């Protein structure tokens, strides 16, 4: 079965590979996109949650810190109350600032910010203080309880400008007549340590603002101050506590319990995004590779359990196409149900076809046999008439012996011809049949030919088709012998085939006119013209039908030398 040119055909395995690949890729793509979506959402959610947690924790820490600052202020307030003079107070407070690392200075202010007593860990107090950032009259007067300033530069000491935050409290009654406010300037060291240690994600951090939105402490304070970095403080100030998304930054806000400061945790989603992208790319690549591997394994297995049987089935079919005779189907061990069904059906079909062919062949043979039998049953009317004429003539001449011999030969001829309807008779009978014919013919063609038999006695009891030799002798008498020249000679021999012990060769040879090669070939193909009796072709056909192609007639002839017809039959003993 060949496809026409231009007619495209796709193999089963290609279709399977394509569809499996498509399915796998589609499945993987869908899975990955779903996975990416879920993953990115969960990442963002995690980021929000962790930001909020960081903000809350920081707020608690800052709260604690503010509380501790207030406690320190209360303690100092206690010290102030127990002190007699400003000088004594400064001495005491100096000691405190040396012990407490995060206290930069402690100041006792009058109502308008005039310094009554001041002690600090810094150097020398300025003689002429032009600006005091720690004292904010408006704020101080307005606030009840603890007063908390924004972060600012401390300006009271010579050549010292530290960043501090001031916490102050109004005294209940004036100290040393004028003292109204006690203020502590706190350095950021303590809170900075904590804030710097807070990490949110890889690049995230926390910072503190006051309620106005000014930064109190930021881990990258110097970058903010230098304008390299900025925080979206306006946005943050306007929003309540919670999580805010701002382009690729997540802010989590939490106001401390006393409401004075707010903590903000910052997470960069950009960083999440790039990380996510590389992770997704890697996982996609891995998934694709895994899929490809699985696909290959599947293909290998598939080709073993499906493709191979299919191919072998196709091969079998082609073999069957070429040579249906004696076909035996391989396979039958297919693991795939459908293929097994196909294979079984095909097997069934081949068996059926073989049976049918056998049947047809048998029927044909039977038909031929019937035809032959009908032919065998016919008696050449000319032969019978001529023979009877000869007998009559002998009787009239008073040659009763010859007549009797003739009649007995004729009778034997007919008897053996009939042979109770059997096809195979012994070679001995066949030779007697041939001899009877020769006897009759030798009376008719008086002294025109002689004949001789040469029979291997061990073969006499073997079987051969009846009326095999007689048509050959008939042919030799009528067509082979040249009766006008000299006496013809017909030799009949039976012997084992020299090339095969199990075959028998029967030869009928004459010394007549001989035949050309064309005539030899024609004689085996031509039906007998008078359509009665059995022709040479019939003998040949019959032998082949009975014993197979190997057997039959072989004609050797040379012009003016003679013709030898050889019959080859298998050796078959009569049981």
Partner 1 sequence: MMKLKRIFAFLSALFIAVTLCSCKKDDSKKQVSVIVKAVDSDFWNRVKSGTYSAATEYNVDADFVGPQNEEDYEEQNRLIENAVKNGAQAIVLSAIDYEKSAETVNNAARAGVKIVAIDSEVNSQNVSTFIGTDNYEAGISAAKAAVGGFSKESNICIGLINYYENTANGRLREQGFRDYIESVDNAVIIDTATANSNTESAEMSAVQLLTEHPQVNVIVGFNEWMTLGIGNAVKTLGISDKVYAVGFDTNKISLGMLETGEIDTLIVQNPFAIGYMGLKCAAGLISGENYQTEQYTAVTAVTKSNMFDKEIQKLLFTFEE
CB of 252 to partner 1, least distance (A): 22
What is the rounded distance in angstroms from the CA atom of residue 63 to the CA atom of residue 298? 64
Q: Nearest Cα to 309, choosing from 349, 350, 346, 354?
A: 346
Query: Which strands, in side-by-side order, build the sheet including 103-109?
Result: 115-120, 103-109, 179-187, 163-175, 146-153
Told to check if 221 binds partner 1 by CB under 8 A, we report yes
3-state secondary structure 276-300: HHHHHHHHHHHHHHHHHHHHHHHHH
List 293, 314, 328, 411, residue binding partner 1 (CB under 8 A): 293
Told to check if 12 binds partner 1 by CB under 8 A, we report no
CB of 193 to partner 1, least distance (A): 8
- Going by their DSSP bridges, the two strands 163-175 and 179-187 should be labelled as antiparallel
Told to check if 226 binds partner 1 by CB under 8 A, we report yes
What SS3 class is residue 331? coil
Told to check if 479 binds partner 1 by CB under 8 A, we report no
Q: Which of residues 296-355 bind partner 1 (CB under 8 A)?
A: 296-297, 299-300, 303
Told to check if 185 binds partner 1 by CB under 8 A, we report no
Q: Let me know: does 551 contact 570? Beta carbons within 8 Å.
A: yes
Q: Nearest Cα to 105, choosing from 12, 175, 168, 194?
A: 168
What is the rounded distance in angstroms from the CA atom of residue 237 to the CA atom of residue 253? 10
Told to check if 397 binds partner 1 by CB under 8 A, we report no
Told to check if 38 binds partner 1 by CB under 8 A, we report no
**Residue keyed to tokens 């499906």:** 306
Q: Which of residues 101-130 bind partner 1 (CB under 8 A)?
A: 126, 128, 130
**Would you say 227 or 326 has its CB closer to partner 1?**
227
**Would you say 101 or 392 has its CB closer to partner 1?**
101
List 44, 125, 139, 224, residue binding partner 1 (CB under 8 A): 224
List 30, 34, 81, 153, residue binding partner 1 (CB under 8 A): 153
List 27, 49, 174, 225, residue binding partner 1 (CB under 8 A): 225
CB of 159 to partner 1, least distance (A): 4
Told to check if 21 binds partner 1 by CB under 8 A, we report no
Told to check if 227 binds partner 1 by CB under 8 A, we report yes
Which range binds partner 1 by CB under 8 A, 174-182, 189-197, 258-266, 390-398? 189-197
What is the rounded distance in angstroms from the CA atom of residue 92 to the CA atom of residue 97? 9
CB of 70 to partner 1, least distance (A): 23
The string of DSSP letters for 156-203 reads: SBTT---EEEEEEEEEEEEETTTEEEEEEEEESHHHHHHHHH--BTTT
Told to check if 162 binds partner 1 by CB under 8 A, we report yes
Q: Nearest Cα to 235, choosing from 224, 243, 227, 225?
A: 243
Which range binds partner 1 by CB under 8 A, 55-63, 151-159, 364-372, 424-432? 151-159
CB of 521 to partner 1, least distance (A): 54
| Distances in whole angstroms, Cα of residue 48 to Cα of each of 51, 94, 173, 264, 454 | 5, 46, 49, 12, 121
Q: Let me know: does 237 contact 209? Beta carbons within 8 Å.
A: yes
Which range binds partner 1 by CB under 8 A, 221-229, 314-322, 410-418, 435-443? 221-229
Q: Let me know: does 406 contact 397? Beta carbons within 8 Å.
A: no
What is the rounded distance in angstroms from the CA atom of residue 229 to the CA atom of residue 223? 5
Rg for the chain, CA atoms, rounded? 65
List 75, 81, 98, 161, residue binding partner 1 (CB under 8 A): 161
List 109, 140, 163, 207, residue binding partner 1 (CB under 8 A): 163
Structure tokens at 537: 């072709």
Reading phi first (left if > 0) and then psi (alpha if -120 to 50, else beta), residue 388 is in alpha
**Would you say 220 or 419 has its CB closer to partner 1?**
220
**Would you say 225 or 385 has its CB closer to partner 1?**
225
Which range binds partner 1 by CB under 8 A, 136-144, 225-233, 315-323, 482-490? 225-233
Which range binds partner 1 by CB under 8 A, 21-29, 149-157, 233-241, 527-535? 149-157
Phi, psi dihedrals of residue 30, rounded to the nearest 5°: -60, -50
CB of 297 to partner 1, least distance (A): 8
Q: Nearest Cα to 570, choosing from 547, 549, 554, 553?
A: 547
Told to check if 210 binds partner 1 by CB under 8 A, we report no
List 14, 290, 349, 360, residue binding partner 1 (CB under 8 A): 290
Told to check if 285 binds partner 1 by CB under 8 A, we report yes
Q: Let me know: does 514 contact 557? Beta carbons within 8 Å.
A: yes
Torsion sign over Cα 344, 347, 349, 355:
negative
CB of 288 to partner 1, least distance (A): 10
Residues near partner 1 (CB under 8 A): 126, 128, 130-131, 133, 152-153, 155, 158-163, 188-189, 192, 196, 214, 220-228, 282, 285-286, 289-290, 292-293, 296-297, 299-300, 303
């Amino acid at each position: 079965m060949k496809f026409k040119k231009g007619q495209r055909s796709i193999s089963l395995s290609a279709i399977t590979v394509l569809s499996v690949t498509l399915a796998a890729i589609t499945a993987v793509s869908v899975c990955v996109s779903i996975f990416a979506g879920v993953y990115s959402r969960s990442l963002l959610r995690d980021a929000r949650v962790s930001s909020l947690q960081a903000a809350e924790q920081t707020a608690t820490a800052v709260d604690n810190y503010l509380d501790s600052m207030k406690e320190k202020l209360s303690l100092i307030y206690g010290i102030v109350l127990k002190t007699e003079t400003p000088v004594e107070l400064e001495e005491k407070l100096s000691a405190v600032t040396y012990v407490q690392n995060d206290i930069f200075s402690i100041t006792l202010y009058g109502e308008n910010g005039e310094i009554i007593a001041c002690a600090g860990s810094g150097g020398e107090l300025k003689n002429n203080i032009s600006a005091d950032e720690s004292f904010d009259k408006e704020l101080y007067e307005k606030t009840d309880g603890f007063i908390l300033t924004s972060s600012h530069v401390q300006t009271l000491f010579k050549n010292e400008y530290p960043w501090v935050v001031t916490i102050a409290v109004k005294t209940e009654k004036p100290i040393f007549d004028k003292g109204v406010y006690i203020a502590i300037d706190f350095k950021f060291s303590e809170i900075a340590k904590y804030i710097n240690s807070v990490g949110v994600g890889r690049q995230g951090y926390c910072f503190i603002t006051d309620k106005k939105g000014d930064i109190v402490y930021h881990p990258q304070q110097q970058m903010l101050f230098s304008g390299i970095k900025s925080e979206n403080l306006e946005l943050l100030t306007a929003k309540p506590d919670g999580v805010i998304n701002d382009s690729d930054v997540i802010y989590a806000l939490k106001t401390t319990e006393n409401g004075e400061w707010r903590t903000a945790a910052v997470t960069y989603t950009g960083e999440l995004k790039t990380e996510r992208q590389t992770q997704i790319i890697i996982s996609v690549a891995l998934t694709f590779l895994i899929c490809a591997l699985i696909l290959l394994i599947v293909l290998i297995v598939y080709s073993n359990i499906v493709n191979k049987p299919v191919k072998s089935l196709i091969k079998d079919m082609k073999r069957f196409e070429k040579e249906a005779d004696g076909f035996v189907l391989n396979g039958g061990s297919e693991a795939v149900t459908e293929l097994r069904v196909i294979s079984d059906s095909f097997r069934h079909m081949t068996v059926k076809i073989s049976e049918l062919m056998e049947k047809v062949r048998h029927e044909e043979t039977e038909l031929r046999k019937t035809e032959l039998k009908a032919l065998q049953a016919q008696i050449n009317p000319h032969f019978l008439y001529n023979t009877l004429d000869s007998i009559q003539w002998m009787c009239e001449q008073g040659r009763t012996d010859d007549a009797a011999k003739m009649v007995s030969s004729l009778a034997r001829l007919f008897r053996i011809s009939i042979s109770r309807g059997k096809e195979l008779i012994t070679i001995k009978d066949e030779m007697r049949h041939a001899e009877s014919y020769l006897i009759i013919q030798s009376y008719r063609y008086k002294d025109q030919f002689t004949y001789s038999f040469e029979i291997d006695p061990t073969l006499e009891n073997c079987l051969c088709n009846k009326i095999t030799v007689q048509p050959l002798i008939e042919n030799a008498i009528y067509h082979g012998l040249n009766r006008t020249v000299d006496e013809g000679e017909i030799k009949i021999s039976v012997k084992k085939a020299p090339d095969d012990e199990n075959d028998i060769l029967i030869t009928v040879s004459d010394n007549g006119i001989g035949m050309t090669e064309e005539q030899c070939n024609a004689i085996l193909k031509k039906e007998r013209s008078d359509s009665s009796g059995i022709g040479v072709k019939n003998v040949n056909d019959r032998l082949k039908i009975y014993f197979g192609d190997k057997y039959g007639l072989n004609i050797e002839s040379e012009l003016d030398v003679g013709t030898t017809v050889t019959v080859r039959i298998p050796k078959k003993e009569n049981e």
